[in-house]
Amino acid sequence: MKKCPVLFFAVVILCVATNAQEKMAIKFNHVAASDFSIDKLKVDTSYGAVIIADVGSSSFEGNNKGWFSLIYKHQRRIKIINKKGFDLATVQIPLYISSTSNSEEKLESLKASTYNLENGTVVETKLDKDAIFKEKLDKNHIERKFTMPALKEGSIIEYSYTINSDFLFNLHDWIFQGSYPRVWSEYSLDLPSFFEYVFLTQGYNAFDIKTTNSKVANYTLREQNGTFQTQSFSLSSTNTISRWVIKNVPALKEEKFLTSLDNHISKIEFQMSGQQFPNSPHKDILGNWTTMSEELLKDEDFGDRLDKDNNFLNDDLKAIKGGSTNKLEEAKKIYAFVKSNFKCNGHHGIYLSGNMKDGYKNKSGNVADANLILTTMLRHENMQASPVILSTRDNGVTNEFYPLINRFNYVICKLDIDGNTYFLDASEPFFGFNKLPEYCYNGHGRVVNKEADPIFFYADSVREAKFTNVMLFNDEKQPGKWSGTLNTMLGYFESSDIREKFIDKGKEDVAKKWKETYTGDFSIDDITYADEKEYEKPMRMSHTITVDGNNNSSIIYFNPMLKEGYKENFFTAAERKYPVEMPFKMDETYNFQMAIPQGYVVDELPKSAKVSLNDGEGYFEYLISKTEEGVLLRSRIMLEKATFLPEDYETLRNFFDYIVKKHAEQIVFKKK
């Protein structure tokens, strides 16, 4: 089972404080000369900047619309060390706009200043309000953006603002960790008892302070009734006050084989789950997977057309499936039609980019357009097809327990025929029937049907197998050289990458770049491919190879792995806090056979070796032998799992260190 960062899920409850009310050392809006020195702080300064303090809070207040407003406050102080940290001086504040009510979140009380130490005196430069820009991101989001003034190496920058929002579902998440180290990161929430939220906490950094208290609060709600009358009423609540603090938070680092840093970042998120007002029935907000699926199937931007007549498809489908003898053959033809004719211009999104009929007519759209059209066409022919929503590997994992629709960013099609299940993605022209791109293997997804069935696409369920065979013979026409062949059965995903390059660059360009990788004593020619158009199969590639053995020397050093060996370890860091998340299990076999150069004997041969990783989780063999005429080698690397926990990192790193070492070893030929 795939392991993820520790996740804690809890509905808001009342409990007593368990930690002391420790406060941070700095005071906002007051910068002293001593604040410019950070020598005493236990912080990594190599990133070019340090976030000294990052403090946020959310609370609720009654408004003049007869309801509540959400008040979010954010304060931040940053020490700029050098130019590497200048990115933090550009601040972006996203705001939500309702496309139905035409109302938007309001940015209030914005203050921003840059402080510089000049001749022992602290000089403050305030942000000019005219330097704040507004940019529309999409129909539901705008952004306020500004860059701090008078910025230089050594500056301290500080800003604060308030967001007043009528959208209570937008209770702000808090990110304790990011691309720069943080000395103090704090978030607090003052929550009335009327509102219930699911708390989702994630990360590897333990809270230094985590407290929960309660207080009695009174709220006055006012609403204008007619032209002159204003109606007001009060509500009393026992509020829950929560506070979270993490100190000395390290910066996040991109690592090899990591799906998304968002899966491992230290953060807390909130999702409104319900409302309970005095003398009123409980109102469920979050719902469940079944209700979410029902809503998606009724949504005109998702599943509204799936079961309609869709007569505009009649003529095309009659021609597409002509001559088919069974439903599976029909399905393959429909899939091939959509895949070959539909141009996908975006691989993120679960909603149609426009009207489905127009999308079908224009044969273009995003991944949701492609696969919802495919699903509709299959259902038109009375096949059991359903959309499946999931999250791609770079988008982060979804939540198996709560129907958080914003976590999903991809749609595929599930097809059931004669007791067999097939998963289809028509957005990629170089993938075959029942084949999914590697980025889809990211764990939990949901079938959008009446049952809202959970479904799991784990990288551990996929194996990428590659087989390479090399034969080198003494070149009779050119003494001192070897010539021969290299034949490879590529892995499926590697085949798909090459097919994509054929489409984007053309075969000639791909062949040219492949030849350029063989330099020095090596050269290749006559590159051929097999099963190029058989998209359900991996491709085979062959080419001739020539090696200059420099036979004028008394000793020849020869690496039998040629260009196929591992030259460096994937894992260079001494330690790793995140899992290693490979996209698939791997099985790579390399067979090599060569003739001993004429007039030489084998003087030294690498030693054979067999190594196991963690009692069967991986395997490496390097078997080499010689005969009177030649040398034989077999190298095989197998990983029986794709995901390794941080505690397994050191053994995995040592495993690949050993592979790199063995693949670098050479045969020594000595002249007779």
Cβ atoms of 604 and 665 closer than 8 Å: no
- Token pair of 220 as six digits: 């006055």
Cβ atoms of 390 and 412 closer than 8 Å: yes
Alpha-carbon radius of gyration of the chain: 31
Q: d(Cα 427, Cα 166) in Å, to the nearest integer?
A: 38
Place of tokens 């764990």: 443
Q: d(Cα 287, Cα 298) in Å, to the nearest integer?
A: 16
DSSP-derived letter for residue 608 is P
Q: Report residue 17: phi and psi, to 5°.
A: -65, 145
- Token pair of 296 as six digits: 């998606």
Cβ atoms of 489 and 466 closer than 8 Å: yes
Given phi > 0 = left and psi -120 to 50 = alpha, else beta, which region is 614? left
Q: d(Cα 438, Cα 458) in Å, to the nearest integer?
A: 10
DSSP-derived letter for residue 324 is -
Amino acid identity of 263? N
**Strand, coil or helix: 506:** coil
96: β partners: 141
CA distances from 71 to 163, 198, 416 (A): 6, 19, 49
Cα–chain center distance at 391: 8
Q: Single out the residue of 644, 637, 631 nearest to residue 658, CA to CA.
A: 637
Q: Single out the residue of 412, 388, 418, 413 nearest to residue 328, CA to CA.
A: 418
CA distances from 506 to 225, 498, 510, 513 (A): 69, 10, 7, 11
Q: What is the DSSP string of 618-664?
A: EEEEEEEEE-SSEEEEEEEEEES-SEE-GGGHHHHHHHHHHHHHHHT
Q: d(Cα 264, Cα 257) in Å, to the nearest integer?
A: 13
520-553 CB burial, b ≥16 within 10 A, e <16: eeeebeebebeebeebeebbbbebebbbebebee
Strands in 522-530's sheet, in edge-to-edge order, are 522-530, 540-548, 481-489, 463-474, 585-595, 630-639, 618-626, 609-613
Other beta carbons less than 10 A from residue 138's beta carbon: 8
- Looking at residue 126, its pLDDT comes to 97
- Looking at residue 269, its pLDDT comes to 95
Cβ atoms of 63 and 166 closer than 8 Å: yes
Q: d(Cα 353, Cα 306) in Å, to the nearest integer?
A: 16
Task: Count Cβ atoms within 10 A of the Cβ of residue 222 and give its class: 0-12 exposed, 13-18 middle, 19 or more buried.
Answer: middle
Low-confidence residues of the chain, pLDDT below 70?
A: 1-21, 226-228, 479, 550-551
- Looking at residue 87, its pLDDT comes to 96
Strands in 121-126's sheet, in edge-to-edge order, are 121-126, 106-118, 156-165, 68-80, 49-62, 182-191, 229-249, 209-225
Amino acid identity of 355? N
Domains of the chain from N-terminus onward: 1-21+50-67+166-285 (no CATH), 78-158 (no CATH), 289-457 (3.10.620.30), 463-671 (2.60.120.1130)
- Token pair of 343 as six digits: 């141009």
97: β partners: 104
Secondary structure (H, E, C), 161-172: EEEEECCHHHCC
Tell me the pairing of strands 49-62 and 182-191.
parallel
